[in-house]
Amino acid sequence: MTVLAPDAAVEREARFRAFVAEHREQAVSTAWRMLGGDRATAEDVAQDAFVRAYRALDSFRDDARLSTWFYRILVRTVQNRRRWFAIRRRWQGLFTDEAKTEDAHATMMRRDVGLQRRIGEALDGLSAGQREVFVLVYLEGFTLTEAAEVLGKAPGTLKSHLHRALKSMRAQLADLRLGEDDEGGA
C-alpha cells in the first residue's frame, strides 16, 4: 500500500470525486446493460463499485487511466452480482415451486414491449463474456483495447467473443433488418 503525501491524497480524492460526478450515469448504464435492464440493481451495483474504488484509491497507480481501473472494478462487481443472483435462484428453486418463483428480470422482460424487449432478449442469449464485451464496445463506446484492459483479457479473446456476440445478435434480430425491397431503392 502506497502512502501518499497529504496534498497528493487530497488531490487524488478530488480527482476521484470529479470522476464520480462525470461517470455516474455511464456506470449505471453499463451495469444496467450487463445485468439485463434492472435500473435499481444497476444503481446499487454502480454505487457499490464506486465505494469499492474509493476504498482502494490508495492502491491506484497512475500507470493506467482512472476510467479503465474503475470500469474493471465495475465489471467485477456486476459479475459478482450475477453470481449472487444465480445462487439465489438455485436456493429458491430448492424451497419453492419454481413455476411460481419469478425474478425481477423475468417480470420486467414480460412488461417491456417492442424493440427494447427484443434487443434485451437477444442480449440475454449471449454468454457473460460475449455480453460484457458487446456492452463495453458497442453500447458504451470503449475501444477493443480499452475493453481488454477493463476485462483483463487478451484483445484476441475479446475479438472472438465480439464476433460470436454479433453473429448471435444478427441471427436473433434478423427479421428487423431492412431488406433490399424495403429500402425503396432501385
- What residue ranges define each of the domains in the chain, with the CATH number in brackets? 1-100 (1.10.1740.10), 112-174 (1.10.10.10)
Q: How far is CA 35 from CA 83, 108, 166, in A?
A: 11, 12, 18
Residues 6 or more apart whose Cβ sits within 8 Å of residue 40 = none
pLDDT tens for 13-24 read 888 899 999 999
Length reported for the chain: 186
- CA end-to-end span of the chain, whole Å? 67
How does the average pLDDT of the chain come out, rounded? 80
The percent of residues above 90 in pLDDT, for the chain, comes to: 35
Task: Output the pLDDT for position 96.
Answer: 54
DSSP state of 37: S
Q: What share of the chain is helix, strand, coil (3-state, %, to 5)?
A: 75, 0, 25
pLDDT tens for 33-77 read 888 878 899 999 999 999 999 998 888 877 778 888 999 999 999
Task: Output the pLDDT for position 180.
Answer: 41
Residues 6 or more apart whose Cβ sits within 8 Å of residue 144 = 137, 155, 158, 159, 162
Longest dimension (CA), the chain: 69
Amino acid at 12: R
pLDDT band at 32 (very low <50, low <70, confident <90, very high): very high
Top-confidence residue, 85 or 151: 151
Full DSSP string of 91-151: HHHHHS-TTT---HHHHHHHH--HHHHHHHHHHHTS-HHHHHHHIIIIIS---HHHHHHHH
